[in-house]
Amino acid sequence: MPNTNFELLGHSILPGKGMLLNLDIAKLHTGTKIEVPIIVQRGKKPGPVLLITGGIHGNEVNGVEIIRLLISKKYNRPEVGTVVCIPVVNIFGFLNQTREFPDGRDLNRVFPGSPRGSLASRFAYHIMKEIAPLADYCIDYHTGGESRFNAPQTRINKDDVESMELAKVFGAPFVVLANTREKSFREAMAKMGKKVLLFEGGKSLDINDMVTQTGIAGALRVMDHLGMRNFTEELSLMERKSLSPVTIESSQWVRAKYSGMFHPFVALGAKVKKGDLLGSVSDPFGNFERSIKAAATGHVICINQSPIVNQGDAILHISQE
């Protein structure tokens, strides 16, 4: 862990110094070189290496915004250890504002990758070979897919005691115990023995201030907890107070029984009781409006913000308690 000689992509970064590096491993079909910026900041004293990643899904811009602010406010400059920020891992998808890689693959389903695999797989391989081994801890920022707006939450493996401690430190309102997805970045990192906090908040192609502030405050609390920098003052000025997170072991989607216009009546994060009115689905012509009631008690951890839903669409995600 104490790493006085920090080497990344052929560059040596000295204690107390920072460097902007570019991971340059693939080209567009036009021949244009695609560079993935990596921002490294080292503290004067040796210590843990924290990797902060966003945009593994190219349309999940709220995570990119969180890391952009961490950098622009210079919160990524530790006194102890090293912070490595990759605000946009899937820069290909970010350019196109799509979740996937240009080869149509989901980058987060091809880890640890292969040097002779698909474009996404080759890219994953380079991340795992050149960057991942240097990290001790990782915070990976995501959002909900499409119109599904997630309440800010960290996701960790069920029996991972150290990650649970970090998730509590991070202080998002919910901690979801979710096994790693096969071939995800989180699974590949966990297999390498790294501690990964996956943050989910908001929806794709959206920037939400509440989500951003929760994500920033969480990173500061983790850095403070790891002894990398004292953020007591910054955190005291922030709106996002540390909460005692609600731990969620299982959850269920409420699906639309009818196609139509969806109106949620509950707030994100709210606790609902069995029988509570959650929302309604109506036709567009004023003929019918059917109410949706809670089948059980739980917290609302995701709301589909699409105004129009099809029968069977997932519309509300409720924890089971």
Using CB under 5 A, list all residues that contact Zn ion.
Answer: 57, 60, 142
Phi, psi (degrees; rounded to nearest 5) at 278: -100, -30
Euclidean distance between the first and the last CA atom of the chain, given in angstroms as a whole number: 39
- Nearer CB in complex with Zn ion: 57/186: 57
Of 41 and 59, the one with the shorter C-beta distance to Zn ion is 59
List b or e across 264-279, with b for residues whose CB sees 16 or more CB atoms inside 10 angstroms: bebebbeebeeeeebb
Quote the least distance from Cβ 143 to Zn ion, whole Å. Answer: 6
* Pair 33, 92: CB distance under 8 Å: no
Which residue type does 209 have?
D
| Residue 200 or 313 having the CB closest to Zn ion | 200
| Shortest reach from residue 57's CB to Zn ion, in Å | 4
- Which residue has tokens 């590096």? 21
Nearer Cβ to Zn ion (57/240): 57
Distance CA 172, CA 156 (A): 13
Outline where DSSP puts E strands in the chain.
Answer: 6-8, 11-13, 18-27, 33-42, 45-54, 80-86, 137-144, 148-156, 174-177, 195-203, 246-248, 250-255, 260-264, 271-272, 277-282, 289-293, 298-304, 308-309, 314-320
Q: What is the Cα–Cα distance from 115 to 125, expressed in whole angstroms?
A: 6
Nearer to Zn ion, 41 or 53 (CB): 53
CB of 153 to Zn ion, least distance (A): 13
CB of 151 to Zn ion, least distance (A): 15
Nearer to Zn ion, 151 or 272 (CB): 151
What minimum distance in Å lies between the beta carbon of 200 and Zn ion? 7
- Nearest residue relative to Zn ion (C-beta): 142
CB of 142 to Zn ion, least distance (A): 3
At residue 100, what is the residue type? E
